[in-house]
Amino acid sequence: MTYTTILFERRGRTALVTINRPEKLNALNAQCKAELRDLFTRLKTDPETDAVVLTGAGEKAFVAGTDIAELASLDALTGKEFASGGQAVFDLVQHLGKPVIAAVNGYALGGGCELALACHLRLASDRAKFGQPEVNLGIIPGYGGTQRLARLVGAGRAAEMILTGNTIDAQEAWRIGLVNRVVPLAELVASALELAGVITAKGQIAVRMALKAVNVSMEAPLSEGLTIEASLFGECCSTADFREGTAAFLEKRSPKFTAR
């Protein structure tokens, strides 16, 4: 597939993906969602990619939402399909099996906030703004926002954002746990790539098992999550990376992980 709305670059073992419709504040249209689906499907099994950084082109927006021009003609049936289709793309991000870091440069509104929520880590520039303004359009978040936002920041804070449609700035997003860090805009992508580099230097089997376990915590009751955690822990104990990691510690040297 030829990409016209996203850019893809390799930075070591990290894929840098940029949503690239700056003239429309990177609003997600059907083409953009199809391209994201295609690229993330490839990245899932790409042996050269251990992590992804996702950002928006330009200084103004990460993603200012779903493309409102494509919303206007929806009815009950097509609306449900529209939401399910977007959810499927964002599920692909959450279940990529490799860490995805959102580098939120500017507006992350509606589907843009939901896209950041589907990522595993979120870095925000000091100019970023987050919001779920769907209520202003007579709809609700439909790409996972009502579920992932509440799980991340708590139902009360999620309800305030979703019911008022109010936008919050990066500092407030950090205060409520919506983002991991706030950095100056000029350092944002470099910081996200550096964070990705810290993770890609670890044993990749352990990183993937850990991601799987953390994903389960979003959905399963504690008892089920603990059972899955124990199984994944056991799987890690059968790897060469585990033997290398423990041996390196005991021999006071840096480990050389091989993802085996």
Mask of contacts with ligand COA, 120-139, x by CB under 6 A? Answer: -------------xx--x--
Q: Is 186 in the site for ligand COA (CB under 6 A)?
A: no
Coil vs helix vs strand at 4: coil
Q: Is the dihedral of CA 45, 118, 53, 3 positive or negative?
A: positive
Residue 182 and residue 103 in contact, taking contact as beta carbons nearer than 8 Å = no
- Options 35-43, 49-57, 103-111, 193-201: segment touching ligand COA (CB under 6 A): 103-111
Q: Cα–Cα distance between 117 and 111 in angstroms, integer?
A: 9
For residue 223 the two structure tokens come to: 């008892």
Of residues 111 and 203, the one with the C-beta less far from ligand COA: 111
Binder among 3, 8, 12, 24 for ligand COA (CB under 6 A): 24
State yes or no: is 114 an active-site residue: yes
Side chain identity at residue 201, one-letter code: A
Of residues 136 and 231, the one with the C-beta less far from ligand COA: 136
Binder among 19, 25, 93, 128 for ligand COA (CB under 6 A): 25
State yes or no: is 134 an active-site residue: yes
Torsion of CA 52, 57, 60, 63, to 10 degrees: -60
Q: Is 54 in the site for ligand COA (CB under 6 A)?
A: no
Q: Is 65 in the site for ligand COA (CB under 6 A)?
A: yes
- Options 32-40, 86-94, 106-114, 117-125: segment touching ligand COA (CB under 6 A): 106-114
Of residues 40 and 107, the one with the C-beta less far from ligand COA: 107
Burial (0-12, 13-18, 19+ Cβ within 10 Å), 105: buried
Residues touching ligand COA, count (CB under 6 A)? 16
DSSP assignment of 96-151, as one string?
A: SSS-EEEEE-SEEETHHHHHHHHSSEEEEETT-EEE-GGGGGT----SSHHHHHHH
The catalytic residues are 114, 134
| Contact residues: ligand COA, CB under 6 A | 24-25, 27, 64-69, 107, 109-111, 133-134, 137
